[in-house]
Amino acid sequence: MEEKDKPNKGYSADSIQALEGMEHVRMRPSMYIGDVGVRGLHHLVYEVVDNSIDEALAGHCDHIDVTITETNGVIVRDNGRGIPVDMHKKEGVSALEVVMTKIGAGGKFDKDSYKVSGGLHGVGVSVVNALSVNLRATVYREGKVYQQEYSRGKRVNEVKEIGTTELRGTEVEFQADDQIFDSLEFNYETLATRMRELSFLNKGITVTLKDLRTPDEKGEFPTEIFHSDEGLKEFVAFLDGNRERLISEVISIEGEKGGIPVEVAMVYNTSYSENIHAYVNNINTHEGGTHLSGFRRGLTNTLKKYADSSGMLDKLKFEISGDDFREGLTAIVSVKVQEPQFEGQTKTKLGNREVTAPVSQAVSEMLENYLEEHPADARIIVQKVILAATARHAARKAREMVQRKNVMSGSGLPGKLSDCSDKDPVNCELFLVEGDSAGGTAKQGRDRMFQAILPLRGKILNVEKAMQHKAFENEEIKNMYTALGVTIGTAEDERALNLEKLRYHKVIIMCDADVDGSHIATLILTFFFRYMKELVESGYLYIAAPPLYLVKKGAKSEYCWNDDQRDTAVLKLKGEGKESSVGIQRYKGLGEMNAEQLWETTMDPTFRTLRKVTIDNAIEADRVFSMLMGDEVPPRREFIEKNAKYAKIDA
């Protein structure tokens, strides 16, 4: 019998799984929360907090408390109306149980209950319930306290009335399921960043974050209170705290245009990067969309009109582009849309066409008023635009030189690059190695089939403080562009990175494990964040982790990556009750290892550790890079003092 004629044994209607609701969430969690790693874990908290924010947007809540418990559980408490607990006619159970156990259930689908709501899909707290080993909901409503418990999405008991109260609101306590998530460890700073963001985006709300896991030296638990009276105006000031401001105050507007609530705030600084963040219903739409298009249109048209009428552009020999108006600009655009339509690769690009005109109108109105009332600032802004246009013109020539080098020199590859044999980018790795000496060791130790080595001499240019054309004129940066095979400029954006001809799908920064090495790695990371963000977002950038120590006794030796591992290795090699001079070698540089050691600790895919570089929060990343690599010293000093407990001084 031929293969195609064989009967489909065991394959019948019974084999088709019709997964519904909570079962489907547990089987395909990534469809609902993105992934089951650290990002997905934190997303659980955001989903519960979003419910409280919805109450705030509807005018019923102004306090939200988030607590990380001793066991890495989370409690979210608000002072809203409290989820209804009366019988749901259609489902035949309490409305609370419906909200907690039915996908897509909730007041946000009833336009009379919520005009707008946060969250992407309205899946909310029921998904959190499905992915928690246990969850307890407590409702304070109409003088009474109600409670219901669940496990992995299913109710454990009926809704119970457990007491009386003068309070109102909802409290949700959950413990994420270790059968679902890779890790259950919540990161305090990650949660703090989002809570701070929400307080700026929803002025007047107080969000408290408390961590009960580890007390500080005084025996107190880390606690922060986030509250903003001025909203986006304060948000922009916070983001730009590490930069030198170019104009006297933050420009802002708030109101309703075409039935859509629009809030915008912006300020110019002396930097060379554009820093615009757009939100819809508190969601950071990092792929942009119609609201961002409206902002750019309003900004460009209004400033161009003003610059033309001022006569300041008369001597300029080339056209000004939209990019020039946005250099050195930090801005936040926030809109509230009743029925947002999302598109793009990660569903974070707003597609509602009716949003563009209201945002453009709001920005035009805001800028016209500001420019008229602040003529000195208006002149400074136009001068900045002219400077940006001049620099862009020079940068274009420098970029063309980088790309022309590819064509004129055959392969276009830098002479310092030791390339690999394999030409399939999926298999290939490029190590960016600090210094020629370490580069030589890496060349000897690598697997030539799939590992390429590009030594970088010294500290590359700090692009945070350099104009764009200076970056493209820098030899080390030019070498990185040509080695990677990427080009700059697409049909839509002349500054965008084109990854079509990227030659390696792993780009690995390999620097010394000392202070200088960390500084060089930070310089390289700054370059990638500012000039090759698309490569980072695609998941192609990594940092190598060379060992800090080699602990040796006789013929036995062990590599260690931190002090704890070193101490454990020393005790192990000493042996019980035996006194002997275990040797400890501290590696200050990659060059101190021979080729074989570098391969087996840092380059061999079987045993090495690579740290993948991701951008979980572009706003926070921008703030940290501008603080670490910018001109303002006080914020950097404050950061170092705050994090000094993590710092070690090399002997």
Of residues 274, 516, 534, 600, which has the active-site annotation? 516
Burial state string for 359-369 with b = 16 or more CB within 10 A and e = fewer than 16? bbbbbbbbbee
Which CA distances in Å does 465 have to 52, 272, 384? 41, 8, 15
Q: Please give the backbone phi and psi of residue 289, each rounded to the nearest 5 degrees, phi first.
A: 130, -165
179: left (phi over 0), alpha (psi -120 to 50) or beta: alpha
d(CA 274, CA 292): 13
The two structure tokens encoding residue 424: 């399939």
Maximal C-alpha separation, the chain: 88
d(CA 316, CA 314): 6
Contact between 73 and 41 under an 8 Å Cβ cutoff? The reply is no
- Residue 35 annotated to the active site: no
3-state secondary structure 617-629: CHHHHHHHHHHHH
Give the containing element (helix H, strand E) for 291.
helix 290-310
Q: DSSP secondary-structure letter at 547? A: -
Q: How many Cβ atoms sit within 10 Å of the Cβ of residue 191?
A: 20
d(CA 37, CA 184): 9
> Which residues, other chains included, contact 324 with Cβ-Cβ below 8 Å and sequence gap of 6+?
385, 386, 388, 389, 392
Local structure of 383: helix, strand or coil: helix
Of residues 78, 97, 323, 512, which has the active-site annotation? 512
Helix spans in 415-465 (H): 436-445
Which CA distances in Å does 96 have to 73, 88, 141, 284, 596? 21, 9, 12, 29, 62
d(CA 422, CA 470): 33
Of residues 514, 534, 600, 604, which has the active-site annotation? 514
Selection from 183, 177, 337, 166 nearest residue 256 by Cα = 337
d(CA 199, CA 64): 10
Pairing assessment for the beta strands 275-280 and 283-284 based on DSSP bridges: antiparallel
Place of tokens 């690009």: 349
The two structure tokens encoding residue 126: 């029921």
Give 147-162 as a DSSP string: EEEEETTEESS--EEE
- Residue 514 annotated to the active site: yes
d(CA 46, CA 118): 10
Helix spans in 202-289 (H): 232-239
Selection from 507, 565, 555, 515 nearest residue 531 by Cα = 507
- Residue 308 annotated to the active site: no
Residues carrying an active site annotation = 434, 512, 514, 516
